[in-house]
Structure 1
Amino acid sequence: MEIEEGAPVDGEVEAPFPADIYAAEAMAADMDHWIVFDSRRTPRSEFDGWLESNRPSQVQRYGNKDRGLSSVGWICVLGPNHCPTGADVEGLQESWEKLLASSRPVNFQTVKELALNHGVLSGKWLMHLDSGFKLDHAWECVARAVQEGKVCSAKVSPYDPKGEDRQVICVYNKNFTDESDVVRLDSVIRATGVKCPLSYKPDVYTYLGIYRNNRFKLCPTIYESKFDLECVPRRSHIINKVTNLEVT
């Protein structure tokens, strides 16, 4: 019997796609303890001390048993106007399973349709930075914008000595289908002084486990922003990666 090239043989387990590994790691982080500053409840006077005590390059992803420190999934700031989205994530995932079982294609439009049907519309600009001073500074700039009510929420990954020497900052908005709001959030981030490249990912991809190098060959980020230091006035160049057109 001829065996299809690349197919698992009896007794072998098919190797997971890299995206499946990333999704599992993200789920584990979400389930671990979060360090949260909630601007709706915590006095503003405590914010500077909180920032200093929880610099992301110094907070360990897996804690320190000798010092009695537990694992930390994320460091997060909630803005004074933050409110839950009311997204139907469970319904989204059920509809996703039905989509996979059907003959319909899996592409941006079908995933967007699921997101609209279940109210899963939030998304985030991502910045990946090497651990250290620049990361801590960028996080402080973004966190202050959240605390001042310019952004609804943001989070940053803690330092993982077992992984890549890079950490990610996520800055959220409420509707990935509202291009003007996606652009507005980019301008708020840039106004804090952040100049590094940004990429924008809808939360629907996160909830469905769609990360880079996934089996559906979907790009999980739908916008890309690069800051032009030579342009007058200085501004971002934002590309819609679905249409490959620059956003104006």
Structure 2
Amino acid sequence: MATAGRTHQTFGSDERIFDPECNEETIDDFLFINKPSQLCISDGITWIRVLGPGYQDAQTNYDVDHLAASLQKLTTAQQSQATLNQEETSEDDEIAITQDEINSLDEELTSGKWMIFPKRDYVDHIWGKIAEATVSGKLGEGATMAKVAPVGDNEESSYIAVYTPDYRNKAQVYEVERKLRDIGIKGTMKYKPDINTKTGVYRHNNYKMRPSIYVTYDKSDSKGKSGVKSKTTSL
């Protein structure tokens, strides 16, 4: 039975979920049984997900269609303004949208995630580190949840997301990044607000926007020693 406040109501039935407050198995057993390199999306498993100590169920089921309609209204208004300013536009023209304008579409949707894209050969190892650190609280209170996409269908790379509750809380976002480096996560990581995902702001979008708002580059030394240095910058 899930405890109060952790009902998993926003997750799909096609997910494998580990909640330390609910699961009888250990995190090690869960990871051994649910390796992303062996599970397949074609078998109906969309995500493998673990919850941190600070996880709470979302209070709102976000209406993606409503957000998309709001974004369309915003772009239409900008196109109309461009016409008033006697600027020539067409339906295929890119409309510049700012991150603040996207954020204003739903000010209650504040969560976001650090995104990591490990190669298939390394995904089990990297996911194991992140999942264990999320569940145990090693990533800090800001790391509420993490998930990974199965790659058993022979995909070349996977996708791991580590969530924080508020993209506006830079100190918390940066802390989770630093703790990810502390457990040995290397390579470039990007942080993307969920509002960008829900409104369909991905790479090569028509809004002249970068989907992620922070990026961090791994600057570990050539010998791969601990003490990874990283720099997080606004985009």
TM bracket (short chain): 0.7 to 0.9
Q: After alignment, is 99-108 or 182-191 more displaced?
A: 99-108
Letter in 1 for 2:205: N
| Residue correspondence of structure 1 range 120-159 to structure 2 within 5 A | 120-132=109-121, 134-149=122-137, 150=140, 151-159=143-151
- After superposition, residues 211-222 of structure 1 pair within 5 angstroms as 211-222=202-213
Select between 34-43 and 50-59 the one with higher mean Cα deviation. 34-43
Do the aligned partners of 2:217 and 2:231 also contact (CA within 8 Å) in 1? yes
Answer whether contact 1:32 1:73 (CA < 8 A) is retained. Answer: no
For residues 123-152 of structure 1, give each alpha carbon's deviation from its aligned partner in whole angstroms, at most 9, with x where no partner exists: 0000111102x2111101110111113321
| Residue equivalent to 1:188 | 179
SS of the aligned residue for 2:186 comes to coil
- 2:50 is aligned with 1:77: yes
Aligned to 1:60: 40
Q: Tell me if the contact between 2:38 and 2:152 (Cα under 8 Å) persists in the aligned partners.
A: no
Amino acid at match of 1:96: L
Letter in 2 for 1:62: S
Using the alignment, how far apart are the partners of 2:71 and 2:209 within structure 1? 15
CA distance in 2 between counterparts of 1:194 and 1:168 reads 14
Cross-structure match for 1:98: 73
State the Cα deviation string for residues 60-105 of structure 1 (Å, max 9, x = none): 1112xxxxxxx11111001233102334622644533432332275
- Distance, in Å, in 1 between the alignment partners of 2:105 and 2:192 is 15
Question: Which structure's residues are more often strand, by fraction?
Answer: 1
- Listed as ranges, the matches of 1:224-235 within 5 Å are 224-230=215-221, 234-235=228-229
Secondary structure of the corresponding residue to residue 86 of structure 1? coil
5+ residue gaps, structure 2, are 1-10, 82-95
Shift of 1:179: 1.3
Matched pairs, number: 200
Which residue in 1 is equivalent to 2:16? 35
User: RMSD in angstroms over aligned alpha carbons?
Assistant: 2.3
Contact 1:120 1:203 in 2 (8 A): yes
Residue of structure 1 in register with 2:86 after alignment: none
> 1-side partners of 2:216 and 2:32: how far apart?
29
Percent identical among aligned pairs is 28
2:123 aligned partner, one-letter code: L
Give the superposition deviation at 1:46: 2.3
Aligned residue number for residue 107 of structure 1: 98
> In 1, Cα distance between the equivalents of 2:229 and 2:175?
12
Q: CA contact under 8 A between 1:131 and 1:167: conserved in structure 2?
A: yes
Query: What is the identity, as a one-letter code, of the residue corresponding to 2:215?
Result: E
Structure 1 unaligned blocks of 5 or more? 1-29, 64-70, 242-248
> Matches of 1:141 and 1:206 in 2, distance apart?
25
The alignment's TM-score, normalised by the length of structure 2, stands at 0.77
